Amino acid sequence: MMLHQSVLLLTAIVATLVCTSQASSNYGVDCSWPIHSKNLTCGNLLGDRKAIYEDYMEGCREHWGEKGRKRCNAAEADRLEMSRKQPQSMVNFTSTGFKKLKAPAKLWELLSEFWEENEDEQEIEEWFVGNVYTNNWAAPSYYIGVEDTELEGGGPDLRNEIWEAARPVLEEWTGRKLQPTSQYGIRIYTEGAILAPHVDRLPLVSSCIINVAQDVDEDWILEVYDRNDNAVNVTMEPGDMVLYESGSLMHGRPFALKGRYFANIFIHFEPTGEDLDGNAGRNEVVDDDFYPPYLLPNSPWLETWAQQNPSGWRRTSPSAASVGVPKAHAAAASGDVDALERLAFDDKESLSACDANGWTPLHEAARAGHLEVVQMLVEKQQVDINSLTNKGKGSSAYFIASQSHSPDHPVAKYLQSLGAINQGPEL
C-alpha cells in the first residue's frame, strides 16, 4: 500500500513538472530585479541588472516630469513593501503557487476567435502617473477590451463566458470555490517591454494568464518565485495558460521583450470561503465578519488591508451587476482599478457620471478609502475633485474621505494636496 502511494505521488510530481515546462534558475529574490530591497545581491550573474533597473526608474521619472518623479519613487516604495508583506500574509491554496497547462478548448476558442476578429482594433493603453510596473514610456502597451460592445463578438456576455470557462480549472487546482473579481482584456506588450516583478493587489488572488498571440525572436520569460523564493522561468506560447496565486506569488517579466509583440489576457478570482464540497473554510481567516478567507491571522498585511477596505470583506461577484448600481460606482467602491481601466476604454463618461443620489465614482472611492482608485480617476481621467453629491448640495470627496476615515487618511491627504475643497452637505 505504501509503495503504491509512493508511486502515485512520484507520478503526480513528474506530471506537474512536465505540464509546467519550467526551468529552475540558480538565483533568488533581488537578483534579476529589486523585490524585497533595492540592493541587488547577485553581482553580474545576470548582467548589469542594477544599471538596467536604474535606467528603468529614471525613465519613469523623466516621462512623468517633476510631479511624476515623486510619484514614481512613492509607487516603487509601495511595490517593494507589498512584495515583502503581502505574500507572507496570504493563505497558500496550492503547494507550488503556479502551474502551466493548455487552456481548455472552450476558453481557447472564445479568446482566439475574438483576437482574430479584433487584433487590428488595438488602442494605446494609458497608465496612471508614476506607474512603475511597466516601462510604458519606452515600450507602449496596447489593449483590446473583451467587454467592448463595438468590437466583433465583444461585450459583457463574452466577459462572463470567459470567466465561466476559466473558473472550473482554477477551482479544481485550488480546491476552493471562487468568485470573479476582475478580468483585464487583452494587453499587447511591445518591443523592449519589461514587467517589474510584483504581487497583485487584492482581491486578485487566484488567477490565470493566457497567451493569446505573439511574434517574438526568443521566448519572453515569465519569472515566478517558488515557495522558497527561488526564481523559476516559465515560457509560454499561444494557447498556454499559467495558473498562479497572484496575490502571493511574485511574478513578472524583468528581461526585455525581444520581438514585435506579446498578447496576454488576465483572468482573476478570489476564494469564497468554501471548499468544492461547500464546506466552510472560515478557520483560515482572522475574523469571519471582516477579513477575507485568504488572509492569515497576525500577518503584516492585515492593517493595510483594513485601511484599504474599511467596510470589510463582502462576497460579491462582478459577473452579476448590483441592481441599480452603475458599474463604475461599484468598481470604485470595491477598489477594482482594472474594471475602471476597462471602462476608460468602453464608457469613459461613466467615470464621472452621477448615480441616483448624485454620487460619482470619485465619491465612492473616497468613502471606501481606495487611494489608487482616487488617483486614477483624478490624474488619468481628470474628474472634478470638487464635485458635490446631491446635485451640488451635498459633500465633496475630500469631506467624505475625512469624515469616513480621518483627515490623516491617505485619500484625504492626497485630495488636500491638490487643493480640494472640504465641503459638507447643506443643512
Neighbours of 77 (CB within 10 A): 12
CB 239 within 8 A of CB 108: yes
For residue 381, the model assigns a pLDDT of: 76
d(CA 282, CA 295): 11
* Residue at grid coordinates 518623479: 69
CA torsion sign for 393, 405, 398, 383 is negative
pLDDT at residue 175 tops 60: yes
CB 88 within 8 A of CB 235: no
Neighbours of 286 (CB within 10 A): 17
* Greater pLDDT, 66 or 135: 135
pLDDT at residue 357 tops 50: yes
pLDDT at residue 324 tops 60: no
Residue 95, phi-psi category: left (phi > 0), alpha (psi -120 to 50), beta (remainder): alpha
Q: What is the CATH number of domain 33-274?
A: 2.60.120.620
pLDDT at residue 321 tops 60: no
Distance from the Cα of residue 278 to its chain's centroid:
27
d(CA 115, CA 110): 9
* Greater pLDDT, 384 or 252: 252
d(CA 212, CA 107): 11
* Greater pLDDT, 193 or 12: 193
CB 329 within 8 A of CB 355: yes
For residue 9, the model assigns a pLDDT of: 39
Q: What percent of the chain lies above the pLDDT cut of 70? A: 87
d(CA 166, CA 158): 12
pLDDT digits (tens, 9 = 90+) for 86-109: 999 999 999 999 999 999 999 999
Label residue 25 by pLDDT band (50, 70, 90): confident
Mean pLDDT of the chain: 85
Secondary structure of 83-108 in the HEC alphabet?
HHHCHHHECCCCCCCEEEEECCHHHH
Q: Per mean pLDDT, which range of 265-269, 318-322, 339-343 is the poorest? A: 318-322
For residue 310, the model assigns a pLDDT of: 64
pLDDT at residue 366 tops 70: yes
Query: Side chain identity at 418, as an amino acid letter?
Result: L
pLDDT at residue 396 tops 60: yes
pLDDT at residue 329 tops 60: yes
Q: What ranges make up the beta strands (E) of 147-239?
A: 176-190, 195-198, 206-216, 222-225, 230-234
pLDDT digits (tens, 9 = 90+) for 261-298: 999 999 999 998 888 887 765 445 554 568 899 999 88
Surface-to-core class of residue 315, CB atoms within 10 Å of its CB (0-12 exposed, 13-18 middle, 19+ buried): exposed
pLDDT at residue 378 tops 50: yes
CB 385 within 8 A of CB 415: yes
For residue 6, the model assigns a pLDDT of: 39
* Greater pLDDT, 93 or 23: 93
Label residue 349 by pLDDT band (50, 70, 90): confident
Surface-to-core class of residue 235, CB atoms within 10 Å of its CB (0-12 exposed, 13-18 middle, 19+ buried): middle
- DSSP code string of 240-276: EEEEE-TTTS-EEE-SPP-EEEEEEEEEEEEEEEEET
| Closest residue by Cα to residue 180 from 153, 161, 193 | 161
* Greater pLDDT, 18 or 225: 225
What are the Cα distances from residue 319, in Å, to 42, 331, 347?
45, 12, 17
| Closest residue by Cα to residue 95 from 286, 227, 254, 235 | 227
For residue 17, the model assigns a pLDDT of: 41
Q: Per mean pLDDT, which range of 31-40, 59-68, 141-150, 285-294 is the poorest? A: 285-294
